[in-house]
C-alpha cells in the first residue's frame, strides 16, 4: 500500500524501512508535519502515517478524503490531535499503536524522578566544570515516601509496581479500574483529591480528555503537599503550566520533571539551538534549578520504535487486505 509518512525523522525512516522488509509497502517520507498547508502532500496516497504533533483537524481530513486517503495511521498511542468525528464522516479509518512499549515510558519516568530527587542533573553539570563540591546537592530518599499515580493503566501500573516493590514506597493510585495485582502488593486506590493531598510525588499517566485537561491547575495544586514533586510523561495539557510555574516560584511545588509540554508543537522534535524561543512560559520553566524538561523522549527506545513500526505497518496491511483493522480508533 502507498503510505505518506509525515514528521519523518531519520530514526522513523530507519525503523519503518527495517520493518517494511516484511510488509513491502511503498513508503514516501516527508519531514514536514501534517497541517492544512501540507495536506496536499498526501494526494494519491490511500494511507498516511502521522505523529503526536501533526494537525489532523476537520479541514485537513476533508482535504485528505478529497485526494484519496482512506487510512490515518498514528504511530503513537494518543489521538487527541485527530478530529474523529470528521474522520468518521469522511469515511476515513483511524488506527493507532495502543501499547508500543509501556516499559520504555515507565523506566524513563523512574529515571526522571531519581534524577530530580537526587539532583543528578545538577551534579553532572558541576563535574563537567571540575566542581566536586556537594553543597546544594543534598537529595531525598524515595524509600517510604508516598508516590501518587494518576492513571494506572499499562504504563502507570509498571511505574506503581516499580516504586512499591522495587523502592519500598507507599503508592496511591487513581483510576476507574482497579488492578488486583497492584492491590496484592500494597498499592492503595484512592480518589484523585485524596491522592493530591497525600502524595509526595505525583506521576501523571492518564490519557488527555476533556475531563483530564489541566488536571493540575491552580485549584488542584493548592491542595497538594508543600514541596510536592510533579512528574509528567503523559500529555502536556494535563498541566496548566502557568499554574505550575506559580507553584514552583512560590516554593509550594518542590520540583517538576517534565517530558511533555502543552505548547510543545512548535518546539519539540527539532533543533532550535540557533533560534530564540519566544514561548516565555517555557523559557521561565527551563531556567528553574528544580525543574527537568526533556523533549518528549520517554517513548524513545529501540524496542519501542521497532514495536511502533511493526504495529503501524501491520495495521496498514490489514486495512489493505480486509478494509478494516483491529486497532481502529472510534468515537
Of 185, 71, 37, 46, give the one whose Cα is nearest residue 28: 46
CB-CB contact of 7 with 29 (8 Å): no
Q: Is 264 a catalytic residue?
A: yes
| Per-residue CA distances from 271 to 121, 136, 266, 309 (Å) | 21, 31, 11, 24
DSSP notation for 287-317: H-TTEEE--S-TT-SHHHHHHHHHHHHHHHH
DSSP 177-236: S--HHHHHTT-EE--HHHHHHH-SEEEE-PPP-TTTTTSB-HHHHHTSPTTEEEEE-S-G
CA distance 158 to 174: 14
Catalytic member of 170, 262, 264, 320: 264
Residue found under cell 498511542: 77
The CA distances from residue 197 to 22, 173, 193, 300, in Å, are: 51, 13, 6, 32
- The residue annotated as part of the active site, out of 145, 164, 235, 262, is 235
Helix (H, G, I), strand (E, B) or coil at 155: helix
Active site residue 296: yes
Per annotation, catalytic residue among 70, 75, 296, 320:
296
SS3 93: strand
As annotated, the active-site residues are: 235, 264, 296
Amino acid at each position: 500500500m502507498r503510505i505518506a509518512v509525515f514528521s519523518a525523522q531519520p530514526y522513523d525512516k530507519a525503523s519503518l524501512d527495517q520493518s517494511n522488509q516484511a510488509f513491502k509497502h511503498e513508503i514516501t517520507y516527508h519531514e514536514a508535519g501534517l497541517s492544512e498547508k501540507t495536506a496536499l502532500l498526501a494526494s494519491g496516497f490511500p494511507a498516511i502515517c502521522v505523529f503526536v504533533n501533526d494537525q489532523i483537524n476537520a479541514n485537513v481530513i476533508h482535504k485528505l478524503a478529497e485526494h484519496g486517503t482512506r487510512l490515518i495511521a498514528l504511530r503513537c498511542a494518543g489521538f487527541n490531535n485527530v478530529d474523529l468525528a470528521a474522520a468518521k464522516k469522511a469515511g476515513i479509518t483511524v488506527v493507532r499503536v495502543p501499547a508500543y512499549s509501556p516499559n520504555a515510558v515507565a523506566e524513563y519516568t523512574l529515571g526522571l524522578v531519581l534524577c530530580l530527587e537526587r539532583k543528578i542533573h545538577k551534579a553532572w553539570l558541576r563535574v563537567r566544570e571540575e566542581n566536586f563540591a556537594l553543597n546544594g546537592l543534598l537529595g531525598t530518599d524515595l524509600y517510604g515516601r508516598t508516590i501518587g499515580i494518576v492513571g494506572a493503566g499499562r504504563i502507570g501500573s509498571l511505574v506503581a509496581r516499580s516504586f512499591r516493590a522495587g523502592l519500598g514506597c507507599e503508592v496511591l493510585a487513581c483510576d476507574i479500574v482497579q488492578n488486583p495485582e497492584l492491590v496484592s502488593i500494597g498499592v492503595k486506590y484512592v480518589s484523585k483529591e485524596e491522592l493530591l493531598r497525600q502524595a509526595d510525588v505525583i506521576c501523571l499517566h492518564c490519557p488527555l480528555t476533556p475531563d483530564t485537561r489541566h488536571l493540575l491547575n491552580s485549584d488542584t495544586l493548592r491542595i497538594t503537599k508543600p514541596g510536592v514533586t510533579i512528574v509528567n510523561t503523559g500529555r502536556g495539557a494535563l498541566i496548566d503550566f502557568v499554574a505550575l510555574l506559580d507553584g514552583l516560584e512560590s516554593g509550594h511545588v518542590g520540583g517538576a520533571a517534565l517530558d511533555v509540554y502543552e505548547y510543545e508543537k512548535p518546539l519539540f522534535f527539532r533543533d532550535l539551538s540557533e533560534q530564540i524561543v519566544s514561548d516565555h512560559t517555557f523559557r521561565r520553566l527551563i531556567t528553574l534549578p528544580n525543574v527537568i524538561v526533556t523533549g518528549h523522549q520517554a517513548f524513545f527506545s529501540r524496542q519501542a520504535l521497532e514495536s511502533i513500526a511493526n504495529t503501524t505497518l501491520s495495521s496498514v496491511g490489514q486495512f489493505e487486505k480486509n478494509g478494516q483493522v483491529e486497532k481502529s480508533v472510534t468515537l
